[in-house]
Amino acid sequence: MHIPPLFIVLQLVWLLVRASSSSSDSIDPSVLGMDAPSCNFDFPFGVPGFSRKGFEVSCDPSLTGSPSWLQVGSKQLQIMSISIAEGYVRTRITASTWQCSRQDVAGANISLEGTPFTFSHTRNKLTVISCDTFVSFEDHRNSRVSVGCIAFCPSQLSVVDGACSGVGCCQAAIPVGLKSFDAQFYSVTDAIKGWWKLKVNNTLQPLTPSSSGHQRKGAPSIVFDPPDFENTTPLCSKVFIAEYENYTFSKSDMLYDAAWDDTSLSMVLDWAIGNESCEEAKRRNASDYACIDENSICYDPPGRAGYRCNCSEGYQGNPYVAGGCRAVGLSAVALIFLGSLWIYWLLKKLRLGRLKRKYFMQNGGLLLQQRITSARRATARIFTIEELERATNGFSKDRVIGRGGYGTVYKGILPNDQIIAIKRSKLVDESQIESFINEVAILSQIDHKNVVKLLGCCLESQVPLLVYEFIPNGTLFHHIHEKPNRVIPWEARLRIAAEIAAALAHLHSRASIPIIHRDVKSANILLDESYTAKVADFGASRLVPYDRTHGEERPTMEEVAVELDALRRLMKQHLTLRSSLKEGARPLAKPLTINDNNTIDEVGAEIDSLWRMSTVNAI
């Protein structure tokens, strides 16, 4: 498989950018001027003594891949990932449970007071799993803000995996800047029963929830009696604050602790520096200001106190250490530029491929392949457009060896050093494509020393290209009219005439299918190095191009005489070997007479003489 050079360059640039970004994100402790342990963290996080206050992390540097822990109050949370750029920590958590293996609340109430962390309100949700539970908690900063949801289900059949819409599972958004989570559980059925009983007795009493596993004195007893599944497996209630995009509800989550796998539960904590805004922090204590890199900027995160730092535009890395923000600069620009170029190159290649395939089908490529395969003596091949473009140096003007109303002929050199002639017509008559394909297949079988060999064609361009053997000595017309001072000897002229007649006789009588040239003239007779005549420009090259008119041909007097004679014979439907050879006598008269100003009578006499000579040669 050929890999474009641009793709290789793109990969190299990408590796450089990755190296630059990785070195920026994982700051070498030497940048801080400290000899930190092998547990490497992005500052402001780090082991005690090598971190900012409140961002202490513990780990075992002697164990590779050992877990790292974040100390928040009295709890330690296992760290899953840290984002310096977005200001969050992803931790692993367990759920608070009620009425599971123990008839009380066990759990994971969490307080983030006194830490730089808050529960992320954009990534987390309160989630309750139960068939008979209402869970709520208050925001300690504002007692008027209470969050909760009800999870209820009358039977197992009503619970649907994946759906957390209130039947067996419910979710609720959490307040912005929440710092503590202290769940309170209520039994929905008991609450309804107690409310109904109190209503009947007309003595309403407030229901006090179970908080932290204890009932308040004087409060009515709330007993959780959820409906059982069909297999009588007891159910329990669970509640947690977790990253909602990483949790999918399952009915099995409602079973005992033994069936509960919470190792994949993650919770996201947002963090910020201090409790002041950027401006306040700069004014109060510049030495304690966290955005210390000269290429860093400060911003205030929405909905909470404190500030965060980022690298300025055009830089990336860690803004909390000196030298942490490093220029993306030309490497990223080059990456984007080269990536765009590569995508453009790929799309262009795909478009060209589709276009070439379209032209190939439109120009009868499949039909020609079938003809060449079925022909026993066919030697022609189908060239690709890339082969011919390389052979002609992109169809350079320097490679043009002939030009006319029909189109242009180019000289080409194949990789095996074979010299070829490529005929590129101007226009194409699509109604004649099948005839063109048939003629190519027939002409590819002709192997005569006095007929220009058709080597093949290319069908991947809008107009089919014909590939012939290269004849280096020009046309007979060129030698007669453009080199008057260089007279061809009589013997050579006679031999040329005989070779033309022999070629026509072969085409008419010895080819597998008779081929009538119909356009034999001195401009269509080529001469090689030894002045051997080769008949060219017949059949296929004249069927496909639809770009020549009678007005463009401008025949001479002797051509008019011969054409009139040929037309008369064609109208009588006597197109025989004699009529074709008499048509061919027109170029035969050229090498013998030289003079282009003969009268019609003189030309006629010469033609009759040449007719007799060519018949003898043909026999």
Cβ atoms 504, 581 nearer than 8 A: yes
Spell out the residues 6+ positions from residue 32 whose beta carbon is closer than 8 angstroms to its own. 43, 50, 321
Q: What is the spatial distance between Cα 178 and Cα 255, in angstroms, rounded to a whole number?
A: 29
Q: What is the spatial distance between Cα 614 and Cα 591, in angstroms, rounded to a whole number?
A: 14
Q: What is the spatial distance between Cα 88 and Cα 511, in angstroms, rounded to a whole number?
A: 85
53 is in an annotated binding site: no
Q: What is the spatial distance between Cα 580 and Cα 173, in angstroms, rounded to a whole number?
A: 95
Q: What is the spatial distance between Cα 539 and Cα 520, in angstroms, rounded to a whole number?
A: 11
Task: Retrieve residue 419's tokens.
Answer: 């010299």
Cβ atoms 535, 503 nearer than 8 A: yes
Exposure string for 14-23, b = 16+ CB within 10 A, e = fewer? eeebeebbee
The single residue of 104, 182, 519, 528 carrying the catalytic annotation is 519
- Per-position DSSP letters for 235-294, written without gaps between them: --EEEEEEEGGG----GGGGS-GGG---TT-EEEEEE-BSSS-HHHHHHH-GGG-S--ST
Residue 187's nearest CA partner among 222, 214, 219 is 222
Cβ atoms 179, 118 nearer than 8 A: yes
Residue 275, CA distances (Å) to 54, 88, 89, 116, 499 in order: 12, 16, 18, 8, 104
Reply yes or no: is the peptide bond before residue 44 cis, omega within 30 of 0: yes
Residues comprising the chain, all counted = 619
H or E stretch including 19? helix 5-25
- Per-position DSSP letters for 451-515, written without gaps between them: B--EEEEE-SSSS-EEEEE--TT-BHHHHHHS-TTSPPPHHHHHHHHHHHHHHHHIIIIISSS--
Residue 512 burial by Cβ neighbours in a 10 Å radius (0-12, 13-18, 19+): exposed
Q: Active-site residue 519, yes or no?
A: yes
Which three-class secondary structure state does DSSP give residue 523? helix
Going by the annotation, the residues of the binding site for ATP are: 423
Active site residues: 519
Going by the annotation, the residues of the binding site are: 423
